[in-house]
Structure formats: C-alpha cells, structure tokens
Structure 1
Amino acid sequence: MMMPPIPWDIPGPFADMAVMASRLRASLVIIDPNDNVVYASQDKKRLYPFIDFSAPLTFEAMLRSSWKHGADNGIISPPDFEAQLADAQNARRSPRLEFTRRFPTELICAHIRLDNGWNAQLRVEPDRAGLRQYFSRDIPTFGLLEAIRQRETAEQCAAALDCLAFGIAVLGPDRRIKHKNTAMADLISRSDGLLVDEHGRLSALHDDDTAELSRLVALASLGRLLAPTAATSIRAAAGRSHIVSVSRGGDSLGSAVVLVAPASLDVAAVSDVLHRDFKLTPAEAELAAMIGNGFTNDDAAKELGKAPGTGREQVKSILKKLDVGALANRGQTGLARWVAVLGAITGAARFRGKS
C-alpha cells in the first residue's frame, strides 16, 4: 500500500509519526491548528471508508461522520452529540490522551497535541501491528507509543541475533518461548534435538535432556544458578550433540536465555561465504568448510573424492589467501577455528525473510 505524500509544512514529530504509522499499518490523521485534517494515512481511509478524505475535512466533521455511521449500523451513539463533541474537543487540549475503541474494530489510540496547536491521532490494531503481547485485553491501554518503541527495539535486537548461527531463545520459567531467533527456529523446525511441545514449551527429543533443560531454566529464571551461566548438552540427530548454555534473562527475574551451539556447520552456506567474500575457489571453499566442521585435512579430502596430496596443496593455497594475522602459522588447527567462527556469525542470516 502506497504511503500518501506528507505535507511539507507539518511539524517534524508528526512527519516521523506518519512514517511509523505506515510501518505499523496503522491509522493516522494530522490536524492543523485550525482544526483541518491535512493528512490521513491509507489505513485511516481503509478503516473509515464512509468518510470522504478527498474533500476538505475538519476534525469535528470527521467525528460526526463516524458517530452517524455507527448509529446507522446499530452501534450505541452518544445520547447528546453536541455535549460529546464538546468533551472530545476539550480532551484534545491535553498534550497526550490514550484510549481504546471497539468500532470499526479493536483499536488502541493515542492523541498527541503540540504547543503550537497541531494534533495527531494514531489508532493501532494491536494484532495487525504486532503489538498484542504488549497489552492485555482486560486493560484498556498502557503506553501505546512506549509499546511501539519497545517493539522497534525488540526488532532491532532480533535482527542482530538473526545474524548468528547460534540458536537463541528467551524462555519463561515453564520453558514457554517468549522470543527465538532465526537459528533457533530452524533447529526447531527440523526437530534437530529440540522441539516445541503442545503447550509452547521448548523441549528436547529425549525426556532426560528435557528434564535437565527444565531444571536449569527454572533456576536461571529465579536467579538461583550457582554461576552466571550453566552448560549442558542435548542429543541431536545422527549421534551428534548440541552444547547448550542457560543464563538469567537480564536484570529482572522471570526469564532465562538459552543458547544452543549447533553440532555442525552448514557446509554449503559457509562454502558460499568463503567463495563469495574471500575469493576461494569452489573446491577450496568446500574443503575449508569441512575442516571447520571438524574433519582433518585428509578425511575431508577423502570425503570429497580428492587425493590426500591434493587436499594438502589446497590447504596451503587456502591459508595463503586467508593470510590474516597469524592464521597461516597455525595451519589446519588455525583454519578450523577461523572457519568455525565465520560460520557462527554468518550461518543463520541466510534464513531471514524466507518462509
């Protein structure tokens, strides 16, 4: 949906709000000091199709149209329109007003007034905007703009976490997942040692692994771990094991952070990075990725159908091309470590934005 042009003369804070409303797919109107509607978002027009936003419009006329449409459709309307209008106009004199509406759908609303007389009214559908978790259905509203800022901060943190190949999840004391990054979602989708049970709790494939995970998460959530972090292992597929770290979820009690180091690298993904960004040949990139995955040089060469001597020559070429710091002097061990770190910081980003 195309965002309507923003008038050049509206105050800067409201121009920023218009951009934010577009991201949230939210309803926004901006009203000048003379009570004229100078901007209406596409979602305002979607929610209120019975209002003609193409014609000159005042805030008062917009309210009257909304109340009349509600009355025509069986919605309880104000018993005294004029008194209700006077109350609404008086409430708008406050610097900030927050309220909810149930017509035409569930809306959490914020009305902002600047000292120069400009007003803006933001109306957000909590599910559509991804804000449901910040509000209770039993509480009318609580800090809409604060909730939006928290959501945007959480999205920025999630984008950072999605660049890691480590699976990361924030859990409640009962192991219910509050947030997970892309790598954790991938592990769960493949049932690679971990799954989500019917109650939304992070669990292991084996009951004894789940019991140990449950114990550590409960202790971390209560701040009772003997050290800042506790580690364990969880059995994965093909006889492999993931290393798992559990720690307290921030300064407040009630959550735990679980970090899972994958049992193996994604050889194809790491090979692509080595070929694209570090200019290794496809054959060198595949060999280096397998060494980073725990293979010896000779075993990797054998797995790839190469003679041991060919593999050794390729490793020499790889070390020369990747000659950063003392890597070349550390041989295969240094290469394995370097590739493993590269895989850890690039592996999961490939999943972002894909279904």
Structure 2
Amino acid sequence: MKIIDEMQKEDIDTLLILNFNNIDYLAGFRPSASSILIVKDEPVLFTNQMDMEDALLNSKIPVEELKSLKELKKSLNGTIGLESSMNIQTFENLKKDVSLETKITDIVERMRSIKTNEELKNIEKALEIAEEAFKSTEFDNNKTENEIAAEIEYNMRLKGAKKASFDTIVASGKRSSLPHADVSSNTLQRPIVIDWGALYNNYCSDTTRTIIQTERHEEIFDIVLEAQKSAIAAIKPGVKACEVDKAARDVITEYGYGESFIHSTGHSVGLEIHENPSLSKRDETTIEKGMVITVEPGIYLKDDFGVRIEDMIHVTNKGRVLNKLNAKINI
C-alpha cells in the first residue's frame, strides 16, 4: 500500500484510523458506527456486528469484529500515528494503562487531496446529477425558498444521488447577502443564490449560481464573474492556494468591494464537501495536479443583496472547469 511508504517517511509504525471518510478511502467501505482501521504491514479493519456483513463484502482490508479498545491495544506497536480529528476521550482511553508513543499526522488527508481517475469520475457524476437536477427545477415566483431547495434535492435523488452533499442553500432578496443562509418560507425574490450539491458513491459536488434581475444585480454579478475567471486562470501546479485567493480578491478589491468579500475563494472537494487545501489568504499549500477545488468568490452587501458564483475545478496543467451549467442563469 502507498500509505505504508508515507508512514515510513514519518517514522510511523502503526496508523490508527477512526474517521469514517478516511476508512472509506483506504478500505473501500464506509462504516455506519464505530470502526477502527489499523494500518501496518498487515492492516485490519475492526468493525461492529451491525456492519460486519457489509464490511466483509466490500472492504479491501481484512475485517475482524471490534470487541473492545482494551483488546485492540494488543495490535498496536511502535510509534502510533493518530488523526487530529480523534476526540480527547478516545485518546485518553487509548493511552490508559499502556505506554504508547504517538504522533499526530494528516497522511491520509494529504493522500485524499490528489484524486485518482476513479475518484474524479465519481465527482464528475455527482456534479452531472446536481446540474441536471437544477435544470429540472421550476423556479416559479410563487414558490418558497424551502420548496425550491426540496425540489432540487428530490430531483437529485431521482437522478441517482445518494443524497444532497450538504444542506441546500436557497437565499433570495435581501437574504442573498447571507453566505450560509438557512432556507426560509419566504416566497422567491431576486436575486436568488442557490448553493447545492449531490453525493454519488460517497463523493460530493458543490456549485453555486445566482439568478439576477436588475442592472444593479448585473453590475455586481459581472465583478464576481471577473474575479472567478481571474482565480481560475491562476490555477496551475506549483501555485500556492493563497495566490489563487489573491487573484480573485484583487479584482473585487479593485472595484471597491473588498470588504464585502467575506469568505475564502474556495476549497478542495472529495469524500467531504470541505477538504484541504482551502483557497484562503493564509493557506500556503502548493496546488498539485489531480486536486479538485471550488472557486467561489462572492460580494455581499448587507441588508441589500449578495452574489456568489461557484464552479468545480480539476487541476491538470491548468485549472479545468468541470461544470457544464452556464454561470449566468436566465430564469
């Protein structure tokens, strides 16, 4: 396994994995309840009785029943690599009565940041489902934000999604200035910000479109679109994530709306909707070929309206836009 080579580079003898997404990535099986993957020369997935049948059918790693943490400790030796997401209680129980040398590591997360061809196909399918669901949704002005969100999610399920990859955002009128607004029972106003995604084979998609109406909306929309194009043009292997953020932020700042761009420019996507790296001011991670990241600049004018445009980008020798849906929606 490639991960064994990475562990050797960090002088880790045994890697303890509890994060469901990391178990899914390494074993090809996603637990529904407590499971522990021990990675060493002969890896073992310890899972509960409820998941045992499913795990035996689907796991690429040998499976045993998880009976107790005390029993599991017998499988640990040398320097133990731990995920930063491990909760304190589990950590305390792990070290109780046993002298273990531990080291926090993000080996699996770093591996997950570079998508394989199979992972890319799942992401592209998730995106295709989401976009087709959006196109099948009727944006009747008499509908509420909640009804539109429900219709999009229903359409995604009909088209093959396991579920929405996150809670769908539909924010219209003044509420569009809230980047992560919950849906409301308000009837649709303009503009309408829709942020949605599908989950397919446990891989996520993530897209945002803003439906505009007035010349003022269009003015802000065009600035955001220019910023997005600038950021996408900056993407290539070797560039730092913060430099991509700067490319978008500089455009919006030049037009005088820098203080109204109140979040990062984007993030990586895969088994989770938000993965590393983040396209933010502070993230100096080097962009690498094979990453899939979003580019989603926005301008939010308090108590007035907001605009966000988001596409998914596959890093090749440059940034390749995966979305097929036009940035500007005429509804």
Same fold per superposition (TM over 0.5)? no
TM normalised by structure 1 equals 0.25
* Greater strand fraction, Structure 1 or Structure 2: 2
* Greater helix fraction, Structure 1 or Structure 2: 1
Larger Rg over CA atoms: 1
